[in-house]
Amino acid sequence: MEDAANDDVSDLETYLGESLELNFTTLKEQYASAAASVTPWPGSYWPTYQDGINVQWKVGEDSPSSKYAQAFGLDPTDFMNNISAKTGIDSQKSRTACSANADCTSLNDGSVCGKRADAATGYCIPTWYGICHAWAPAALLEEEPQCDVVKNGVTFHVMDIKALISDIYDGSSIKTVFTGARFNGPDTPADMDQYGRYMNPARRDLGAGFFHLAISNLLGKHNVSFVLDVTASSSVWNQPVRSYNVKTMELVDAGEASMKYFGTETYPFNSEMLNLAYVKTTVSWVVEAYADGPLVLTGKVDKYTVSDDYEYLLELDANYTVIGGEWVNGSRTDHPDFLWFATAKPDASSITDTGLSYANVEELLKLSWFSDYFNDFFGQWFNKYFNYFFSQCFGEYVNNFLGQYVGKYFSKCFEPCLNERFGWYNGKRFSELFYLDGWWREEQHWKCRELRQ
């Protein structure tokens, strides 16, 4: 494997606390497919040319940033200016000024003219610029919002809350494990070697061998979800991975494979290769969506899941240990650029440079899970003690206070103490438990308005 890939292997092993599984037979027999235990939720990448989360995505309503400022006592104009300067149009002031999209055509980089609300001029901004690097880890680590929430007279829709969660992950300091090297361009000319491979090492990686080891060990063996930049070009599209499935994984004759894929009688790359295998793997990931309401529990996430097939050769030593690999066929130019994942959520006390508080956004997220029931049934008194209830261990107290009926389901979901206040029960999120046993669907007073069909 190339030196960079060896460093990436070391980084994964450091995080996992053990050596990667490298044996071809074990990888084939035990880790040929896997799916994330928690399906990542679709959300927007909040394009920079639309001014990030300042965009008024819902006709007749304020933007997510304006709503946040109003609900939490900030000046909306100042807060939105901060957002624009960090992740919106004003963050691109060094780019070409414009008044119309036609002013950007000559740049040949896919730019459009991004103008702030009510502004006559703006800046030429590539349409792929945004915060997919923040949405993707948030979609893996945070619960998907479920319902509308009213906070201090301001209504937040699911899409608004997703915007705020995503922006928190952009502005907070979170630890990550990053593998591969980002290719920063230029895309043309696409210099190739005699074997049809990109000559720029940053564009050639992720290496095929490391790619297979990473997905098999992370998602397959350790159930660690991750993000892929799914394009090898200079544009970046970070996508949270949902699953992978190895369709073919067979030993092949090295000479025949070399002639078929590279036009040479002998394998031209790794001299330590003694065995060769052909692999075809399907990887599925969740894509961006400007769709309001919960998308995972309703099954709508399937409409926002796409897949791609990757073909590659795995280089093996005498013991059938994976020591490298090469992309073949269309995957030589169409393969992931880098792979990474966040190792933890933002710190509970995190406040971004723009003034966005993780604690405030987390409050909205919690309220979105039970807003209708708690607001209608318990009212202001319960909301006053909301944080107290969800910071304690649920058991006898809930059974006594909420009654036998509700306690039956709460004890199922909240015992033992919730990990990090909102955690897991036998590997399932508590909201998934409600859906799996049909209870949420049957009891209308527990159902969010946004979930009604």
Please write the tens of the pLDDT for every residue from 243-289. Answer: 999 999 999 999 999 999 999 999 999 999 999 999 999 999 999 99
Band of residue 54 on the pLDDT scale cut at 50, 70, 90:
very high
Residue 310 pairs in a beta bridge with 281
- pLDDT of residue 449 exceeding 70, the answer is no
Give 21's DSSP letter: P
pLDDT at 114: 99
- pLDDT of residue 441 exceeding 80, the answer is no
In the chain, what percentage of residues exceed pLDDT 90? 74
Contact (CB, 8 A) for 57 and 290:
yes
pLDDT at 205: 82
Across 137-166, average pLDDT: 98
Please count the residues of the chain. Answer: 453
- pLDDT of residue 370 exceeding 90, the answer is no
pLDDT at 187: 86
Residue 314 pairs in a beta bridge with 277, 325
pLDDT at 313: 99
Please write the tens of the pLDDT for every residue from 18-37. Answer: 999 999 999 999 999 999 99
| This prediction's pTM | 0.82
Q: Does domain 46-130 have CATH number 3.30.40.240?
A: yes
Band of residue 356 on the pLDDT scale cut at 50, 70, 90:
very high
Band of residue 381 on the pLDDT scale cut at 50, 70, 90:
very low
Least confident of 196-200, 343-347, 418-422: 418-422
Please write the tens of the pLDDT for every residue from 205-244. Answer: 899 999 999 999 999 999 999 999 999 888 999 999 999 9
Across 117-136, average pLDDT: 98
pLDDT at 202: 86
pLDDT at 128: 96
pLDDT at 2: 59
Question: Which residues of the chain form CATH 3.30.40.240?
Answer: 46-130
pLDDT at 4: 60
Q: Phi, psi at residue 185, to the nearest 5°?
A: 95, 180
Across 417-435, average pLDDT: 40
Please write the tens of the pLDDT for every residue from 283-320. Answer: 999 999 999 999 999 999 999 999 999 999 999 999 99
What's the mean pLDDT when you consider all of the chain?
Answer: 86
- Residue 417 CA to residue 153 CA, distance in Å, equals 32
Q: Which of 217, 203, 185 is nearest to 26 (CA)?
A: 217
Across 37-45, average pLDDT: 97
What order do you get walking across the sheet with 122-126 strand by strand? 97-98, 122-126, 111-114
- Which distant-in-sequence residues (6+ apart) come within 8 Å of 61 by Cβ? 67, 155
Across 424-443, average pLDDT: 39
- pLDDT of residue 404 exceeding 50, the answer is no
User: How far does the chain reach from its first CA to its final CA, in angstroms?
Assistant: 52
- pLDDT of residue 46 exceeding 70, the answer is yes
Greater model confidence, 3 or 119: 119
- Residue 27 CA to residue 219 CA, distance in Å, equals 12
pLDDT at 443: 36
- Residue 88 CA to residue 98 CA, distance in Å, equals 16
Across 104-116, average pLDDT: 97
- pLDDT of residue 399 exceeding 70, the answer is no
